[in-house]
Chain A
Amino acid sequence: MRKIKTASDLEKWRQDIIKKQKRDEIVVSVCGGTGCHAYGCKKVRDQFAKAIKKNGFMDKKIRLRFTGCRGFCERGPIVTIQPQGVFYQRVQEKDVDLIVSETINQGKIIDRLLYEDPNTKRKIDSEKEIPFYKAQHRLVLGKNGLIEPTKIEDYIGVGGYQSLTKALFEMKPEEIIEEIKTSGLRGRGGAGFPTGKKWEDCRKAQGNMKYLICNCDEGDPGAYMDRSLLEGNPHSVLEGMIIGAYAIGGSHGYIYVRHEYPLACKNAEIAIKQARRAGLLGKDILGSGFDFDIEIAKGGGAFVCGESTALISSIEGRVGEPRSKQIHTVTRGLWGKPTNLNNVETWANVPLIIEKGSKWFASIGTEKSKGTKIFSLVGKVKNTGLVEVPMGITLNEIIFGIGGGAKNGRQIKAVQTGGPSGGCIPASLFDLPVDFDSLTQVGSMMGSGGMIVMDEGTCMVDVAKYFVHFLEEESCGKCLPCREGLKRMGQILDGITEGRGDEETLMLLEDLSQVVGDTSLCGLGKTAPNPVLSALRYFRPEFEAHIYQKKCPAGVCTSLIQYSISEDCTGCGACAKVCPMKAIEGEKKQIHRILTELCSKCGSCKDVCKSNAVIVQ
């Protein structure tokens, strides 16, 4: 690797890299994100390496690239082949030789490995045409597929650190802040605070030492956009932070990563070392006279440690516990010094804005929410994964367009956005444009970008109960309303789902929710009642059915449901065989019967019945 001392050195290096890369005729990219690792992508990559070596490819130059997460993790391991742009999914080790001999050698496409649109049954060979990708706008995530995260050359080859040179040599710090302000960028960590304003406040704060922190705590169950970014394109986060440091006057940075993200930690660490060696971090960056360095701080992985003051306590080596925040961290943060904390995705947006300008950025999105947002789309939709969409796209477009609609021909009922303390939005509001303010308006929030789709088989009381219990577990316990209040909310919801609710229950639950939200110390407690309040707002009849009729309309809450067998029973006996309680009786070819007293409501019989004769009421 070279040590670069000036901006033109960097440009020269880039040209050399591009020239060298042009010589490769074929690029095979194997996705190496954490999701694909679970499906064995490492073996696929090793097999490719072996096959390419074995075949010799005298006349063709082939490069094998192990990229970061491509978002469509459910279909992993994902392999793309350039220049044709073929997109193969669920590739196994044994498929590799075939891909090499057919696609690479002869340019033939292997049908079996293509993605098939579940709605049209059409096989699709290029990434751009797959509905999951088609409606996306991959500004931030897009480069993940083009680079190997552990190679700084790859990042520089696609224009990396260009924005840094521009910022350092063509712009004054104030101009950078102004540019970020006019771009309209808002924090992607949840609250949507205007980033430029935060930077400005931190720049103006008194102090000779200022800190920058990148928040990659990501305690949200099921969300992994921050991980995929830091893991798949760590240099873009570093570049954003260096630009930010120059604009704010920061002298040291931390990337706070939960230790459950080993690959993200590793790739970020490698990237920091490379950037230091190349002269992009440390003393006298690119000969500009500006010094800044970054280190990794590993967190224990508590949800509450993502909260700014708790995160700072944790880096300082104390218990990760929130404290009163009247004085903002931009004035008094880490070690009592002015500190600017931003989310991973926020930082990764910065180089884009500097490169393409605030006008361009502000042209994407809605009036008050600009740019794109990465969501982690999970639940009862056909396509799940990471999706990056322009702000203002409707929930319909995400859930039915990108997500492909409901799985198993069921009806979609609601979507939960914003992580555990977000809210449930009913299907009737799916034409809502997705941005910070409209989500808040309907009682949910952007949060970090979790998006869980639920269908008619989901009980909303059960969902509210699940999230309240999650947050009860994650509460730090410092303040009374969150610690005791969430416990009591959990008990009340347990009661409702077990048929112990009465007239006063809902009133108490609503009252309690409001007080917990009003009086808790930190954002966790303040937002914790959201799932309950939004469920009550949109799905009140479901709560009432549990309380007054002692019925769970979705057939989920085991205390309130009963299994029985209808006339459709053919008497095959499959159910009786699987019932662990021996609660099903009946003669062969006769209608069977469930002995309610013995039934444990496990649902095994319903799963095996071919004639759909097992009914839940």
Chain B
Amino acid sequence: MERKTVKITIDGRLLEVEEGNTILQAGRQFGIHIPTLCYMEHLTPYGGCRICVVEISQDGGKPFVDTACTYEVKDGLVVQTQTPRIIRARKMLAELLVASAPNVKIAQDIAARMGLLKVRFPMEDNRCVLCGLCIRMCYEQMDGKALGFAGRGTGRKVSMPFNTRSETCRLCRGCDYVCPGVIVPCHGVKEPGELCGRCVRLDDMPYCCPEGTFGCFCDKNPL
């Protein structure tokens, strides 16, 4: 059966997309880039990092800001991904992100892509960006319920319920696989001829999961 389509406008381009898609998915189908952090295909959109914010207006109404990864397309939506308001917001979000986790590669990448040259906040050194990918991966794709968020506000962190490895955890390493905090950030220019590739190699990792959150695999395992 054919699925219904709707017509939306993104950055001035009139697009016809299947119903049920989000603005982010629609944009990607047509090569319109919207940056993301906590989004991953095949996992439920979470709407936590807010990096993917866009301006949306509906039925000619006043534009409002919402996240492209959670907002479903509707006939007649007009979306702007690059307005001054959005650029300014994303830049500030990137600054907040990189100030909190300067040694996480994706935070650096996003900050660099937003053209950030200076961070005006005191730096911290968190390894986890609280994107929740690990939790959703575990729950939705691996049928495990081994991870969850604990704590509130700035005290929020990923943890195993009751600090013990759940019986549903099969050590599949799905969490490790999706975690942006596991990727080693680039350490800069090498000597000519030297190969690096640290960011994709697994043998040379200073740590596997952020602060032992997944608590399962390596000899640093606290459990």
Q: Do residues A512 and B92 form an inter-chain contact, with CB atoms below 8 A?
A: yes
Q: Which of B67, B85, B99, B153 contacts A473 (CB 8 A)?
A: B153
Could you tell me if B66 and A488 are in contact, using CB atoms closer than 8 angstroms?
A: no
Indicate whether A550 reaches chain B with its CB closer than 8 angstroms: no
CB B178 to nearest CB in A, in angstroms, measures: 18
Q: Is the CB of A484 within 8 A of B153?
A: no
Q: Which residues on the A side are within 8 Å of B152 (C-beta)? A: 302, 473-477
**Residue contact A479 to B88, C-beta cutoff 8 Å:** no
Q: Given A472-B154, A519-B50, A519-B53, verify A324-B45 contact (CB < 8 Å).
A: yes
Chain B interface SS verdict (over half): mixed
A residues 93-108 near B (Cβ < 8 Å) are: none
Choose among A474, A481, A483, A484 the residue with the greatest number of B CB atoms under 10 Å from its CB: A484
Tell me, yes or no, whether A236 is within 8 Å of chain B by CB.
Answer: no
| Chain A interface bracket (under 10, 10 to 19, 20 to 34, 35 or more) | 20 to 34
Smallest CB gap from B155: residue in A: A477
A428 at the interface (CB under 8 A from B): no
Select the residue from B47, B71, B156 with max chain A CB neighbours within 10 A: B47
Q: Is A520 an interface residue (CB 8 A)?
A: yes
Per-position 1/0 for B109-139, Cβ under 8 A of A:
0000000000011100000001000000000
B65 interface contact, C-beta 8 A: yes
Chain B residues near A519 (CB, 8 Å)?
50, 53, 65, 89, 93
With A324-B70, A480-B93 as contacts: A520 and B50 at CB distance below 8 Å: yes
Instruction: Please give me the residue from chain B that is nearest to A472 by CB atom.
Output: B153
Tell me if A390 counts as interface (CB < 8 A to partner B).
no
A413 and B116 alpha carbons, distance in the complex (Å): 41
Instruction: Please tell me if A491 contacts chain B, counting CB pairs below 8 Å.
Output: yes
Alpha-carbon distance between A481 and B95 when the two chains are bound, in angstroms: 10
CB < 8 Å neighbour of B153 from A480, A483, A515: A483
Q: Is A521 an interface position by the 8 A CB rule?
A: yes
A326 B71 Cβ-Cβ under 8 A? yes
Chain A, interface SS category? helix
Contact A479 B50 (CB under 8 A): yes
Whether A504 contacts B120 by the Cβ 8 Å rule is yes
How many Å from the CB of A392 to the closest CB on chain B? 26
Q: Is A478 an interface residue (CB 8 A)?
A: yes
Compute how far the CA of A504 lies from the CA of B47 in the bound complex, rounded to whole angstroms. Answer: 31
Interface residue? A38 (CB, 8 A) = no
| A324 to B44 alpha-carbon distance, docked (Å) | 12
A521 contacts B153, CB within 8 Å?
no
Q: Does B49 contact A (CB under 8 A)?
A: yes
A474, B66: Cβ atoms under 8 Å? Answer: no
Q: Does B96 count as interface, using CB distance less than 8 angstroms?
A: yes
Question: Contacts of B92 on A, CB cut-off 8 Å?
Answer: 481, 485, 511-512, 515
Does A518 touch B at the CB level, under 8 Å?
yes
Inter-chain contacts of B89 with A (CB < 8 A): 515, 518-519
- Which residues of chain A come closer than 8 Å to B130, judged between CB atoms? 477-478, 480, 483
Whether, in the assembled complex, A197 has its beta carbon less than 8 Å from a beta carbon of chain B, the answer is: no
Given contacts A319-B149, A515-B93, A518-B89, contact A480 B50 (CB under 8 A): yes
Q: Which of B45-78 contact A (CB under 8 A)?
A: 45, 47-51, 53, 65-67, 70-72
Query: Is B97 positioned at the interface, with any CB of A under 8 Å from its CB?
Result: yes
Q: B97 and A480: CB pair below 8 A?
A: yes
Check A483–B53 contact: CB distance below 8 A. no
Interface CB pairs A-B, < 8 A, 18: A302-B152, A324-B66, A324-B67, A327-B72, A475-B152, A475-B153, A477-B154, A477-B155, A479-B50, A481-B50, A481-B93, A484-B99, A484-B154, A485-B96, A504-B120, A518-B89, A519-B65, A521-B47
Residues of B within 8 A of A (CB): 45, 47-51, 53, 65-67, 70-72, 85, 88-89, 92-93, 96-97, 99-100, 120-122, 130, 148-149, 151-156
Known: A483-B154, A483-B156. 6 other contacts (CB 8 A): A326-B66, A475-B152, A477-B153, A483-B153, A485-B92, A518-B53
